[in-house]
Amino acid sequence: MNPADMMQYVPQALDYVRILPEIVLALFGMVVMVLDPLLPEERNQRVLGGIALAGGLAAMVATLITANSPGLAFWDVIQVDAFSSFFHFLVATVAVVVILSSYEYMQVQEIRAGEYYALILFGAVGMSLMSSATELVLIFIALEISSISTYILAGFRRRSAMSSEASLKYFLLGSFATAFFLYGIAMMFGATGSTSIRVISQALRAGNTPVLAYVAVALMFVGLGFKVASAPFHIWTPDVYEGSPAPVVGFMSTAPKAAVFAVLLRIFFQANAPGRLWLIWVSAALSMTLGNVGALVQTNVKRLLAYSSIAHAGYLLVAFAALPANGIPAAMFYTASYAAMNVGAFAVVSHFASRGERYVTLEDYSGLGRRSPLLAATLTIFLLSLIGIPITGGFFAKFYVFSAALQANLTGLVIIGVINSAVGAYYYLRIIVMMYMREPKEDTPLAPVPVALGTALAISVFATLYLGILPNSVLAYAARSAADLLR
Amino acid sequence: MNSPTLDSAILSLVTFIPLAGALLLLLFPRRDRDIRVFALVVSLLAFVLSLHLPVHYDRAQAGFQFELNQPWISTPHIHYHLGADGISLWLVVLTTFLTPLCVLISWKSIHERVKEFFILLLILETALIGVFVSLDLFLFYFFWEATLIPMALLIGMYGHERRVYAAVKFFLYTMIASVFMLAAILWLYAKTGTFDLLAIESAIRNGQVTGFATAAPWLFLGFFVAFAVKVPLFPVHTWLPDAHVEAPTAGSVLLAGVLLKMGTYGMLRFNLGLFPEQSRQNASWIAVLALIGIIYGALVAMVQPNMKKLIAYSSISHLGFVVLGIFSFTQAGLDGATYVMLAHGVSTGALFMLAGILYERRHTYEISEFGGLATPMPAYATFFLFIVLASVGLPLLNGFIGEFLVLSGAFQARAVWGILGASGVIWSACYLLWMYQRVFFGKVRHSVNESLPDLLAREKAALWPAAAAALIMGVAPLLWLNAIDPAVQSALAPFAQLSKLVGR
């Protein structure tokens, strides 16, 4: 082989620029791991947290740099475009907010472990990679990086049996689901002769669709549906969310979900997967209904928010059943606003939970409005957004999703969705009623909100309201990304 | 003075000054006195600014003035479109007039979580004004829903024993009903591509909306259900007595004074404006419901042992007049309906304040707990009598003008409506005067009442403006009607055409 031919197997500088956020996150994660044993134990939490925070912020900056050089990298397995940048930025922001809200939590829970922050960063590497990968095998690897990090993070309250249960349950069921995804990739290879989304797209567009492709899409959907907690693959969600540390739930209910939704968008729309409509229709309708009905009877706030996240996965899936031109931006907008409000809600939950996560039932929240007016008001904003009240991100998220579905003549699905939103209002309001209209059980004032958590909450509130008052810029960006994706 | 920039900005200023005040209050330290003073200043500022509207409103010109139309969100096409006509401008002034009085009346009765209370009150004021000045259906819907949360919290946080039940009931009733309105709004948006009220109105009139003929009856109902629950019209009125009895005084004042008018305003603006034909077709059963409301509300009020509940049921009766006037489709009827809205806001607001003043002293609303109060509390008794007479509809006071106009409009439309409606006037005299007699006349029957203190200066400051307004509205109705009249005429314009078509 002559040297000129060899050159084509050597990555170019631009290739590395296009995975800059992943490189940055991984490097910072490694620094955290290396420094962890070197620092004195009482100091390392703050230092390592700070490094991780810097890593998250650096990843946000790196995303902006990468976004300026769109294109393919590493022999076409990576595609950097507006679409991937959108999700990169989202994942990095969520990571930053979660790191900020973990700071105090880790101290209060007396969890000493530097690898906690490293795992968040490594998880973010996987999630970022998922949104820019256009090769199914790479997507699988990225999915595993992200999943394994979250499996471990779920078990971080080591003294609690529930946390270990959550971790183990998540790991066993998650591995099982990933196997389905892998099996689907194999089938897709059999059907089209490739694992590259671009080639698959051409093959599926070219002639009549082989039956195997339908099977492949269904199997992949099982694997990914599990990760986003959509029905009927949602059974694990309440237990895992209840047992895992609260900031981790905030993380794993938003960032990996966003990344998996990005993968779903690529598979369904970019690869032009067959049999999309009915698969999505059934799963969306089931998720919305089971999620909301399940949430109605919960007495534990973390479980309640777990069921609510199932319901929101359902609303989001409605966008996948719509036409690509409206559906993709609607889904992206929903992902962003859901991330903002949910990560914020869990930040409040993690502060309020106190040592050993003692205060997590609905009863515990009674009188919160009296004990900590600011915290209660913040949670109220997130809950109103989860209901979908105007001038919060949640409203426009639902609006865009449902109007995209209406334009695709999915009236039935929209009716199911609207009824579910009305049902959903009830259990979110129950929390608000508890906070403001019930007397507190204990009069002890809450621990003041530390600066880090305050910043995390401020970011979430700002994002929630910004998406609700000025949704234009984000939606326009999402629409541009959709055009990129479909090109 | 009357610069074009101020004219276009005035509605935004009036709407958002209370909100800005609420946000500033967030930063205040918890010194209750400062908070109260600041809330009073902000609400007075909003009132003074809102006076710009009637002063500079061009009465020779029908249609919306002080308009501001800015694109806000491009997908969906939402405009920040505000404007006021002769009807909405008075409702805005009513809101800004009542809010400072609410602040005064809550001065001492709210003594814990004071900061939250005034923040909620000011947010509520912004939302209420927003409802009346929005000319974009989306904006309207937003403000409409936005009134719900602060009101429910006011009831649920500061109310009496069964406050949580009342707050949740209030919230669910109005929330569920307004979902139907949202559906109708979204349908209109899907077909016309705009939320702009005036654009949709003209599109409907010019027959540019495909499928309108089949959908219109349902759209009419979608809007109507949301408004009927708010008014509240019989048989969806059951949330009202609970909400009123449990609400703190300021909550009741704004609930009866302004919130209920959102429903009747909505009927006038949206049901009549967008669906004249369907309004005509549905007028008879709606008028029957209104008449049932007038008579049933009055009869139930008569047997209430609880003073606040009595006033609450009297609201159902009075609001029945408004609905009857609106669906008579006559100039007099609509003028009267608008006038009753304003008069009821002033006098029932004052009645709730008076009831609240008594509650602060005795912690009960039971009429049987009182009697002979005229002896220990002469000033209080005088104010109470004055407001009761205004509410009953004594000529030269505000209640009379509106009810008279409504009834004459109802007679023109259908004589039997007028006759049945007129009986409501008699009923209202019965229950209010009887209540007055039981509370104030005779000997003091409970010894605790003998030493009740009379009105404080602060309470007088809250009652004087209301009493003065009741009198001026009674002797000089033209001050108000000359702005209302042209607005009503343009609201009725499609009906004149319709009558020609139908041949009535």
Which of B75, B189, B191 best probes binding to A when mutated, by most A CB atoms within 10 angstroms?
Answer: B75
Enumerate the residues of chain B whose CB falls inside 8 A of the CB of residue A390.
138, 141-142, 145-146
**Looking at the complex, does the CB of residue B180 fall below 8 Å from at least one CB of chain A?**
no
ipTM for this model:
0.82
Q: Which of A238-252, A264-278, A406-420 is predicted most confidently? A: A238-252
Residue A1 pLDDT grade (very low, low, confident, very high; cuts 50, 70, 90): low
**Looking at the complex, does the CB of residue A276 fall below 8 Å from at least one CB of chain B?**
no
**Looking at the complex, does the CB of residue B215 fall below 8 Å from at least one CB of chain A?**
no
Which B positions 61-100 lie with beta carbon below 8 A of chain A?
73-76
Alpha carbons B219 and B187: distance in angstroms, whole number: 8
Give the count of Cβ contacts less than 8 A between chain A and B: 51
Residues whose CB is less than 8 angstroms from the CB of residue A224 and which lie 6 or more positions away in sequence, other chains included: A181, A260, A263, A264, A267
From A353-362, A396-405, B387-396, the region with the lowest mean pLDDT: A353-362
Q: Which of B145, B157, B176 sits opposite A436 (nearest CB)?
A: B157
pLDDT of residue A73: 87
Instruction: Identify which of B390, B292, B285 has the alpha carbon closest to the alpha carbon of residue B339.
Output: B390
- Exposed, middle or buried: residue B501 (CB in 10 Å: 0-12, 13-18, 19+)? exposed
Task: Indicate whether A451 pLDDT > 50.
Answer: yes
* Cβ neighbours around A118 below 10 Å, total: 25
* Chain A residue with minimum CA distance to B75: A472
Domain ranges of chain B: 280-504
**Structure confidence by residue, pLDDT tens digits, A428-438:** 988 998 888 88
pLDDT of residue B504: 42
Which residue ranges of chain B lie beneath pLDDT 50?
1, 501-504
pLDDT of residue B40: 93
Alpha carbons A151 and A200: distance in angstroms, whole number: 31
Cβ of B164 and A418 within 8 Å?
no
**Looking at the complex, does the CB of residue A403 fall below 8 Å from at least one CB of chain B?**
yes
Cβ of B164 and A438 within 8 Å?
yes
3-state secondary structure B9-48: HHHHHHHHHHHHHHHHHHHCCCCHHHHHHHHHHHHHHHHH
Give the CA distances from residue B343 to residues B101, B348, B387, B436, in Å, rounded to whole numbers and listed in that order.
16, 8, 11, 20
- Looking at CA atoms only, how far is residue B503 from chain A in angstroms? 40
The mean pLDDT value for A394-409 works out to 89
- How far does Cα A171 stand from its chain's mean position? 17
Alpha carbons B26 and B113: distance in angstroms, whole number: 12
* Chain A residue with minimum CA distance to B143: A390
**Looking at the complex, does the CB of residue A296 fall below 8 Å from at least one CB of chain B?**
no
* Chain A residue with minimum CA distance to B72: A470
Alpha carbons A256 and A139: distance in angstroms, whole number: 13
Alpha carbons B240 and B228: distance in angstroms, whole number: 12
DSSP codes, A117-158: HHHHHHHHHHHHHHHHB-BHHHHHHHHHHHHHHHHHHHT--T
Between β-strands A71-73 and B65-73, what pairing exists: parallel, antiparallel or unpaired?
unpaired
Alpha carbons B433 and A274: distance in angstroms, whole number: 76
pLDDT, mean over chain A: 90
**Structure confidence by residue, pLDDT tens digits, A162-186:** 899 999 999 999 999 999 999 999 9
pLDDT of residue A454: 92
pLDDT of residue A486: 82
Task: Indicate whether A354 pLDDT > 90.
Answer: no
pLDDT of residue B2: 53
Residue scoring higher pLDDT (A357 or B365): B365
| CA count, 13 A, side-chain hemisphere, B114 | 21
Give the CA distances from residue A13 to residues A16, A28, A65, A158, B281, in Å, rounded to whole numbers and listed in that order.
5, 21, 14, 43, 74
pTM score of the predicted model:
0.89
